[in-house]
Amino acid sequence: MDEASTHAAEQGLADRVTFALGDAAEPVSGRYDLVCVFEALHDIADPVAALRSARDALVPGGAVLIGDEKVADHFTADGDLLERLNYGFSVLHCLPATRAEGATVEAGTVLRPGTVRSYAAEAGYGGFTDLPVDHDLWRFYRLDPS
Ligand SMILES: C[S@@+](CC[C@H](N)C(=O)[O-])C[C@H]1O[C@@H](n2cnc3c(N)ncnc32)[C@H](O)[C@@H]1O
């Protein structure tokens, strides 16, 4: 937090940027046009609660942008290099770390679009868009409350 505040101040952003530390599954104060969750949804012990909090933090017309590891739509053995890399991260870090927090679901690093869509539906979102962003490592999803 201190380092983040220092970096923001160094860049002349202190009057526009604030930092808060907390559990994303807890209610968020303030209302926002855009809530971003970058490379974290697969690590959150209760991702549906986190998406619910994000939805509740939106102004009317606001949206949530999820960025998470680029994985294939479906599991296919043996998988390509990226799938294997992500399963390596998953088994060696993300799954055990999330389990240690008493996870409600244990997705691990390989969070497929169908899983994000089902979390979003459970969290009460009416809209889910798998965004057409072509990136080597990331996939992006837009969630709309209605
Ligand atoms: C794979 S790391 C990536 C973080 C960030 N994208 C980065 O590059 O530093 C996943 C992050 O999710 C955060 N995280 C896990 N559970 C969380 C929760 N319940 N609320 C907020 N953040 C959480 C972890 O603290 C960690 O920083």
| 25 Cα nearest atom in ligand 1 | 19
CB of 26 shorter than 6 A to ligand 1: no
Q: What pLDDT, on a 0 to 100 scale, did the predictor assign at position 90?
A: 97
10: pLDDT confidence band, cut at 50, 70 and 90?
very high
Residue 49 reports pLDDT greater than 90: yes
Assess whether the C-beta atom of 43 lies below 6 angstroms from ligand 1: yes
Closest C-alpha to 71, from 110, 40, 38, 43? 110
57 in Cβ contact with 123 (< 8 Å): no
**Which structural domain, as residue segments, surrounds residue 77?**
2-144
Average pLDDT in the chain: 96
DSSP element (H, E) containing 125: none
Domain harbouring 116, CATH code: 3.40.50.150
Instruction: Report the chain's C-alpha Rg in angstroms.
Output: 16
CA of 24 to the centre of ligand 1 (A): 9
Secondary structure in 3-state letters for 15-44: CCCCCCCCCCCCCCCCCEEEEEEECCHHHC
What average pLDDT does range 17-40 have in this prediction?
Answer: 95
Q: Are 54 and 71 in contact (CB under 8 A)?
A: no
> Strand, helix or coil at 127?
strand
> How many domains does the chain contain in total?
1
Which residues, 6 or more positions from 11, have their beta carbon under 8 angstroms from its beta carbon? none
The edge-to-edge listing of strands for the beta sheet with 138-144 is: 32-38, 58-69, 138-144, 127-130
Give CA–CA dist 138/19, Å, rounded: 24
For the Cβ of 38 lying below 6 angstroms from any atom of ligand 1, the answer is yes
pTM: 0.95
Q: How confident is the model at residue 106 (pLDDT cuts 50, 70, 90)?
A: confident
- Summarised one tens digit per residue, pLDDT across range 50-98 is 999 999 999 999 999 999 999 999 999 999 999 999 999 999 999 999 9
